[in-house]
Structure 1
Amino acid sequence: MFGPEGPSLRELAVQALSSVERGYDLLAPKFDRTPFRTPDSVLESVAKALAPLGPFADGLDLCCGTGAGAQVLTGLCRHSVTGVDFSAGMLDVARHRVRPTGGPEVAWVRGDARALPLRAAFDLVVSFGAFGHFLPRELPGLFTEVHSVLRPGGRFAFPVLAPPRPTRTGYWMLLGFDTVMRVRNALWRPPFVMYYRAFRLGTVLDELERAGFGVGLHALPEFGRRDDGSPRARLVVARRTQPAAGNVNS
């Protein structure tokens, strides 16, 4: 799973016993050489699906990590790209990894996605592989924050993969990982929130609509279909169509 340039077992253990923020600070220098980084195939597929929905002026990579999503945005946005993350270590890697080359301006902001230190200045917000760090009860607040930084008509887009079926090895691997994390968090502080099976598409779509989004699903054809004909991967595209619930001034 991890190559010789990736983190050692000891390094992973230290990360797992840290807070989420501290853990990613420690992992940042080797993060791109782990399976936790979003694969290029997913990034390229999302970029291809979003291109016809543009043009976009300003984009935000939410929970940007080492900047893979921000790199995608540099090919979709004409004016500016911003990456936001709460890990200083991940942002430091991103600054060196994503360098402007005559395209949009690129900026990096340290901040919590649940309380974004940004204004409504974006036409497109993307996020890759970060939602396992949010508990289900945090989704309403998270989506309200995203809504608040989008201009009217702006879009929030992220890929979702179809969950493996119980007959597949992947199902039991994810179940085992989540179980280990729950035991770890019951016995150790600070908690490390990372649950692969807590982000359920039906709940997510409902919460996006409550936050003031109109939601669409787009199949990502590069990943094919399951035996029942459903897509293996989809792109959720949520468009800001109305003020957030309870806020008539948004």
Structure 2
Amino acid sequence: MFSPQGPTLRELAVQALSSVEHGYDLLAPKFDHTPFRTPDSVLESVATALVGTGPFEDGLDLCCGTGAGMDVLARVCRGSVTGIDFSAGMLDVARRQPRPSGPRVAWVRGDARALPFSSSFDLVVSFGAFGHFLPRELPGLFGQVHSVLRPGGTFAFPVLAPPRPSRPGFWVLLGFDAAMRVRNAVWRPPFVMYYRAFRLGAVLDELKRTGFETGLHPLPEFGRRADGSPRARLIAARRLP
């Protein structure tokens, strides 16, 4: 499915009936051949935006998966870059990927809701992982990021404008979230992945409550919608002293 190198429909079904951690362990060898991996166009756009605000010394890729975001960090960090994920399978794939020479690289297995670091980083990025956290978990998640950033450090991640109800994509995402809610109501362990639960307004409010000063930066490569609003933005939240 998706491509000759991608997972089969049966493999995706087995993953969807597993826990999040075990599901990604199963998917890891073929993850980069699915639409679930952050597109290179998004990674490149974020890297370009961060180059203008860096350089940074030490960076962390939160929920790094197979490590696509680590190349973004390597472009803007001079000291070290660290990827953390709770899937051992994803980290195994990430370690085998070729990486350009540059800052020191480390891989850590751990939970984003209980990060095993002190104030060690100047930059934390994350790509495509927030659907795995329920809205009630965001305060704790943002609090963890705040705790591992040095004062003045930046938490950066891209957000895409949601599709309008007149677009097919709106109904696809709505249907996916509805199917996941039904699945989690009747099957254990749960598999948390909701595309429409990460609302920009609520996210900005929670970042402010956590102690971040937040800026929104359009990613011009993705253009604008009919109303003039950007199709994609970079949230850059700075930890206040």
Cα deviation, residue 99, structure 1: 3.0
Preserved CA contact (<8 Å) 1:63 1:83: yes
Q: TM-score, normalised by structure 2?
A: 0.99
Cα deviation, residue 52, structure 1: 1.1
Preserved CA contact (<8 Å) 1:154 1:240: yes
Amino acid of the structure 2 residue aligned with 1:36: F
Report the Cα distance in structure 2 between the residues aligned to 1:52 and 1:76, rounded to whole angstroms.
Answer: 9
Give 2:199's aligned residue: 200
Closer/same/farther in 2, CA of residues 98 and 84 from structure 1, 3 Å limit: farther
Preserved CA contact (<8 Å) 1:162 1:232: yes
Give 1:153's aligned residue: 152
Give 1:126's aligned residue: 125
Q: TM-score, normalised by structure 1?
A: 0.95
Report the Cα distance in structure 2 between the residues aligned to 1:146 and 1:98, rounded to whole angstroms.
Answer: 27
SS of aligned partner of 1:68: coil
1:107 maps onto 2:135 in alignment: no
- Counterparts in 2 of 1:12-91, with a 5 A limit? 12-91=12-91
Preserved CA contact (<8 Å) 1:66 1:90: yes
Report the Cα distance in structure 2 between the residues aligned to 1:99 and 1:217, rounded to whole angstroms.
Answer: 30
Amino acid of the structure 1 residue aligned with 2:135: P
SS of aligned partner of 1:60: strand
| Uncovered stretches (5+) of structure 1, i.e. residues with no partner | 243-250
Report the Cα distance in structure 1 between the residues aligned to 2:54 and 2:3, rounded to whole angstroms.
Answer: 38
CA deviation digits over 1:101-159, x for unaligned, max 9? 2x100000000000001111100000000000000000000000000000000000000
Amino acid of the structure 1 residue aligned with 2:139: P
Amino acid of the structure 2 residue aligned with 1:104: P
SS of aligned partner of 2:69: helix
Cα deviation, residue 185, structure 1: 0.1
Cα deviation, residue 31, structure 1: 0.2
Preserved CA contact (<8 Å) 1:18 1:192: yes
Preserved CA contact (<8 Å) 1:100 1:106: no
Cα deviation, residue 97, structure 1: 1.0
Give 2:3's aligned residue: 3
Give 1:214's aligned residue: 213
Cα deviation, residue 98, structure 1: 4.5
Cα deviation, residue 100, structure 1: 5.2
Report the Cα distance in structure 1 between the residues aligned to 2:91 and 2:55, rounded to whole angstroms.
Answer: 27
Question: Relative to structure 2, which stretch is displaced further, 90-99 or 76-85?
Answer: 90-99
